[in-house]
Structure 1
């Protein structure tokens, strides 16, 4: 495996078995991370990585800020939304792995986006890898059908410690999996997307873990809806930092409607 940091520098020699980055690494950072359990095995700058998922390698962008106390895997939205959420989480003290669960050729086949078991298997493998590399707790944030995959992964992988579903399709996860999710789950949807809201509430009915369904008023798809997107970022950041033990928790957004 080869990796480059976000400034274009290539990491020196190859990867060891299992996809771990090897070669010259920066010294472990000083501060909270140095005393919070095992030192991370990954650099503190941003890198393009290839994450092992069975026989495949998934493309990802990894950033571990100095002092990070938790990690978040993002399989969300468009490039712009991913960048904004990744930046918000890093400001709050979390590291991020922005991950593509499908190769470009697979994405061209429409039904692959609905293969929840496949997506969940890859996402779970990525969370296992990330936890093994950093020694830090891992959470997931996902949109669309990948929200169902995140819940399936949480049901089957104890490395997943919290889940955020944003304008997602969590009801596509198997009821038997939803029933077994052991970690806190946040489901965010728009108040004008009544069908999507109903689907999120349906999934919530199967969850036995601590969870919230949050409706953002006056937005059909709050992930991509201007001011509503800012509320979504605050909600997601607050949930992940609060449940993963990360950095500063983001301020709460203005009173969205919630169900518990």
Structure 2
């Protein structure tokens, strides 16, 4: 269990734009988890920050970036035009991963991706493109179907899909997507939880599942490097 964490705001280059992000780095981190937000939310998403806090307590560094610029967020709040722009979100997520790989304190850490809602599709596509640069992936209530069968089949990183038991539509979409995965995979259903995991204890269960998934895969990656 880490005794302290270091927190700082970062600026991430993304083409002609700059993205704002929050980096939290525990002492001797096991790995880094990069978050992909969806449905118009960003780094201040309360649900993702609660999951991130649990990961930090388990010794995992987290990077929560805004995948949209401030102007794009304003436009999206009116038109909803960017939240389903999966190519844009995917490209921005890859930019964030590339930035992390260039940071001396992060470059040697195993990388995990955590996606929520439409951000899950971006995380899945980015994971397929980055191949073995991604050590593990977790999706929370995600639109895995938006990644497409070919992308899902191309993923090599261990993938955990988490869905609420009362979120019937998303559960059906994730069950279908799960069948296309050829990597190490698991589908976890949180009983009694809806799409936003607002029920008592539901989000804590998501955080526990995610932390366990990342810890196990990060530890295995560390052993592989050491061995």
5+ residue gaps, structure 2: 221-227
CA distance in 2, matches of 1:213, 1:45: 33
Contact 2:127–2:134, Cα closer than 8 Å, also in 1: yes
| Structure 1 stretch displaced more, 219-228 or 148-157 | 219-228
Report the Cα offset of residue 222 of structure 1.
5.5
| Structure 1 stretch displaced more, 74-83 or 147-156 | 74-83
TM-score relative to the length of structure 1: 0.74
1:196 matched to 2:170? yes
Contact 1:161–1:244, Cα closer than 8 Å, also in 2: yes
3-state SS of 1:206 partner: coil
**Alpha carbon RMSD of aligned pairs, Å?**
1.9
1:120 matched to 2:120? no
Report the Cα offset of residue 188 of structure 1.
0.5
CA distance in 1, matches of 2:160, 2:196: 14
Larger Rg: 1
Given candidates 160, 171, 184, the residue that maps to 1:210 is 184
Q: Which has the higher contact order (CA 8 A, sep 6+)?
A: 2
Report the Cα offset of residue 64 of structure 1.
1.1
TM superposition outliers: structure 1 runs of 4+ over 6 Å: none
Match of 1:165 in 2: 139
5+ residue gaps, structure 1: 1-43, 247-260
CA distance in 1, matches of 2:136, 2:34: 10
1:147 matched to 2:120? yes
Given candidates 45, 51, 67, the residue that maps to 1:101 is 67
3-state SS of 1:238 partner: helix
Report the Cα offset of residue 207 of structure 1.
0.9
CA distance in 1, matches of 2:196, 2:18: 31
3-state SS of 2:182 partner: coil
Report the Cα offset of residue 241 of structure 1.
1.2
CA distance in 1, matches of 2:182, 2:95: 24
Match of 2:195 in 1: 221
Which residues of 2 match residues 42-121 of structure 1 at below 5 A? 45-76=6-37, 79-107=45-73, 108=76, 109-121=79-91
Given candidates 208, 216, 226, the residue that maps to 1:242 is 216
CA distance in 1, matches of 2:85, 2:102: 26
3-state SS of 1:225 partner: coil
Q: Which structure's residues are more often helix, by fraction?
A: 2
3-state SS of 1:72 partner: strand
Superimposed CA distance per residue, residues 68-120 of structure 1 (whole angstroms, 9 cap, x where no aligned partner): 12101123466322221121111111111011111233232413111111111
CA distance in 2, matches of 1:131, 1:92: 22
